[in-house]
A and B are shown apart, each in its own frame.
Chain A
Amino acid sequence: MFDRRGFLRTTGAAAVALAAESAIGVTRSARADSAQQPAMDASTRDLLMAALNAARGAGASFADARIERQRQNFVVTREQQIQNVVDTDSIGCGVRAIVDGTWGFSATRRLTRDGVAAAARQAVAIARANRVARDQAVELAPAQSAGEAVWRSAYRVDPFTVSVEEKANLLLRANAEAMKAQNVQFVNSALFFVKIEKNYANTDGAVVAQTLIRSWPTFTATAVSPDRSDFQRRSNVVAPMGRGWEYVLDADLVGNAQRWGEEASQKLTATPVEPGRYDLVLHPSHLWLTIHESIGHATELDRALGYEANYAGTSFVAPPDQKLGQLRYGPEFMNVVGQRSQEGCLSTVGFDDEGVRPDEFHIIRAGLFSDYQTTRDQAPWLRWWYDRQGAPTRSHGCSYGDSWSSVQFQRMPNVSIQPGERDLSWEDVIAATDRGIAIIGDGSYSIDQQRLNAQFGGQLFYEIRGGRLGGMLKDVAYQMRTPDFWNAMDLIGGRRSYELGGSFFCGKGEPSQLAAVSHGAPPARFHQVNVINTGRRRP
């Protein structure tokens, strides 16, 4: 068994060295691959130019246009039945324009030269109408023009080329395996695929064609006690990913389903947790969501400055001049990086939705808060900080609109905790823990509007005693205060235990938009966290 204090010393020292070099060791750039995909087709390019010309002609100082086609495919099953097979397809054009320092946006599904030009003129007219309520003029950070570029995400097999029979067969076989487990009476499973063809141009000269694919197998096994006094579910078993059909096959639904069913069944007889303070060992399949809520959202610059106050909320990481370089988010070995280049991640792109090639940047370096997520119209707000750092004032490339009909704004890049210096596995971290609770998988999650007070459940909970996993617990949730929680992190896994989790449905903005994002993490241990029991008797 490992000695925890020994670990603390080692990992603390290592963090300084790790922070000094590029800590982005686990990311691989998914580079533009023009050989595998033709450039933007001529008619789409022609429409984009018609929109830009119309916006300029109407008086826009800057304009961009996106023609996007988004296709979705779902196959939905329960037990041995196909409930639904759905293909959706949506295409249109969104135009953004700046007039006299004010934004306007308009979107249309009429993909004719006249249709997109009318949308462009309407975007300009809306910008003019908004001028009456403008306070400060929009300033765009300079961006190196993307020029003509083509990019596609890392998929080997396009799921839209796989037959519905093959997809349905895979799910029904997995369902049958899960039903072999005792007391498992119901299984709901689905395959969900998204394919986005993004075509973007702006008046700075960017003309970018990108193709993105996302895949997500979902699976829930429900066990019901024979007397119907209880039911328990096991779900969120496979992370969504920016990959293709090959990812679904690699997830081996059929091979794993019986185990997932047995886990649901075991929850029926699991021991209700005794509330109290415990050392928590959190698996990457769980920790990604805690990162997402308490670091990812907290470090969005628009949120910190009040631009999301009416819906998603603000942030405790504000005001910037009191937090940048000063807020101790966590221990020295904690490094958190934002990037949109890691292969297979959900937020990964070649260029963002304003033609910027995203960079990799430290959000937290050696435990200190060091930067926010930005777009072109946000980066100038931090010029003072970048000047002080000797860094250029540039967007980190976080602009994203969830459809042609949605105005792009700042959305989360992939935000990940970098592995520790010592290459510890999940088992190593458990073995180093004398008494605590191990949590696997994401469950219930809730955090306040400034990202401080949070409560997280999970999928599977195990008692840890003497460095070993013991019996299964249930009704476990932990309550936390963000900086206290991260500063209580006292042990972190290494590169070999790093895994990705993520969400297809991260909501932000008004009207609400959904974004897909991944978060990587090794397992990590947190010292003496408050655990509550969420079970209740029926009223």
Chain B
Amino acid sequence: MSRQQQARTAVLSREEMQRLVGRALSFSQAEGCDVSIGCNVTGNTRFAANQLTTAGVVEDANIQVQSTFGSKHAVVTSNDLSDESLRRVVRQSEALARLAPDDPEAMPPLPQQRYQAVSAWFDATANVTPEARARAALTALEEARRSSDLRAAGFIVTGGSSNCVANKAGLFAYHRNTYSNYGLTVRTLDGTGSGWAGADDQDWSRLDAQQVSRRAIEKARLSRDPTAVEPGRYTVILEPQAVADLVGLLAYYLDARQADEGRSPFVREGGGNTIGERIVDPRVTILSDPRDPQLLSQPFDGNGLPLGRQVWVENGVLRQLYYDRFWAQRQNRAPTGAPACVKMQGGDSTLERMIASTERGVLVTHCWYLRETDPRTVMYTGLTRDGTFLIENGRISRSIRNFRFNESPLQVLNNVEAIGEAVRVGAGGDTVMPALKVRDFNFTSLSEAV
């Protein structure tokens, strides 16, 4: 069997998933039974030190069965989809569920739902061969080898997956998608310069490997011989990936229950949460929309709840927090589902105009090793990486040493000066972010790391 045929057949179709769900449910003797199935065929090609290092193809599938008796439930998963295995998984989840203590927050089964259709499958991606990935890698490797001053390290992944969520009460959700991603770090041989670029698209034919390679190589050369600049508060221009790295963190804090319980940045002192309050600059709008052409994300969450357009922050005001079914019922709100995509809407500026309008500032390519230091304020520490530049008098004047920062995305979004065009970023999943110019960004120390 050729790889192309395998890619097509190993990603299960709606009908194949329906048949598997039917088999699993036919073995169920529990009051409730939820079934989720996921499968994927993924190829990858990895290179470093100017040569290809590892590459592979992995195909896998997984079934998850949750059996429910009253308010007792338990989950069992397996990657064996044979009838014998399905029977065993169902039986085990029933045995575990019977032993499990009552869950006072258990919800009744989700009835049949309607889902928006999202077309995220591209044959051009599903049929990518190892040779095609190797050729894409050569867009960086050939230039790096030819130039003799560069060392390239990158990773290319392509593949397809499908998922379904179903239950005994008639729920059935199915989605399939393809994915392709290319990330590249080019370092100068003298060890003083490093540049990163990346791209992500469901459609391999739209992923411009040549352009990623060119950007990373340019950044590597431009970032050579960095000088040390004093840490402190700076006007900063964050490229879209750096914005995604920081603003994407807010997704971890959008849980309504945590806020209502008093342990979230969105706690209202005295009780409740801050929905309806202005939390960031009025030009900031953050949303999730699986049908957005830049996002094309799964239109249901892991529990089968439909995902539509959900605006979290609108013109700076916190409009919505995440409500699961239990907490929504308890608080008399509609459940939101848990989206897997995020977009911050763009503005009318561009990276070039942001630089041109900056007397003195720092341009950041992307961020590294972000870790929470204070959940009350979404305070994080992290570092700049692979292309940090000083801007003086409206132009990039020189490469500078990386900084460690201690900063909160909430603070960053309160200090916005300009917003660029929103683009799909190279790392972080289905994420669309603009470049941002912000003031008073808090760099706390220098890093010698290149």
- A residues in contact (CB < 8 Å) with B: 81-92, 102-109, 118, 122-123, 125-126, 129-130, 132-136, 163-165, 168, 172, 185-186, 222, 224, 227-231, 233, 305-311, 313-314, 316, 405-407, 409, 444-453, 455, 457, 475, 477, 479, 481, 510-511, 532, 534-539
Contact = CB atoms under 8 A, between A and B. Distances in A.
Nearest to B404: A453
Nearest to A84: B75
B373 A130 contact: no
Contacts of A126: 55-57, 130
Interface residues of B, number: 100
A260 B157 CA distance: 44
Given A83-B103, A122-B3, A511-B157, A224 B368 contact: no
A172 B100 CA distance: 12
A106 B196 CA distance: 28
Interface of B: 1, 3, 42, 44-62, 73-80, 92-93, 96-97, 99-105, 129-131, 134-135, 137-138, 141, 145, 151, 153-155, 157, 183-185, 187, 194, 196, 261-263, 265, 267-271, 279, 368-377, 379, 381-383, 385, 402, 404, 406, 408, 410-411, 414, 444-450
A171 to B, nearest CB: 10
12 contacts: A86-B74, A109-B60, A172-B101, A185-B261, A224-B263, A306-B151, A309-B153, A446-B370, A453-B449, A475-B374, A511-B44, A539-B408
A539 B96 contact: no
Contacts of A228: 262, 267-271
Contacts of A449: 368-369, 383, 385, 449
A232 B279 CA distance: 22
A92 B134 contact: no
Nearest to B402: A448
Contacts of A448: 368-369, 383, 385, 402, 404, 447, 449
A90 B51 CA distance: 32
B262 A163 contact: no
Given A85-B75, A135-B50, A309 B96 contact: no
Given A229-B269, A305-B49, 19 more contacts: A87-B76, A87-B92, A89-B78, A92-B60, A92-B79, A126-B56, A133-B51, A133-B52, A164-B74, A231-B267, A308-B153, A445-B371, A448-B404, A477-B373, A479-B444, A481-B448, A510-B155, A510-B183, A536-B408
A118 B48 contact: no
Most B C-beta atoms less than 10 A away, residue of A108, A126, A222, A224: A126
A91 B374 contact: no
Given A133-B141, A231-B262, A452 B448 contact: yes
A481 B445 CA distance: 10
B1 A91 contact: no
Given A126-B55, A129-B129, A453-B449, A109 B369 contact: no
- The interface residues of chain A, by DSSP majority, are classed as mixed
Contacts of A233: 375
A438 to B, nearest CB: 19
Contacts of A103: 53-55
Contacts of B103: 81-83
A108 B42 CA distance: 11
B374 A307 contact: no
Contact of A453 (B59, B194, B447): B447
Nearest to B447: A453
Nearest to B1: A118
B80 A109 contact: yes
Contacts of A186: 261, 263
Given A86-B75, A89-B79, A453-B447, A224 B262 contact: yes
A90 B78 contact: yes
Q: Which 3 A-B pairs have the closest CB atoms?
A: A105-B56, A135-B51, A450-B449
A405 B60 CA distance: 8
B138 A132 contact: yes
B79 A479 contact: no
Contacts of B379: 534, 536
B58 A534 contact: no
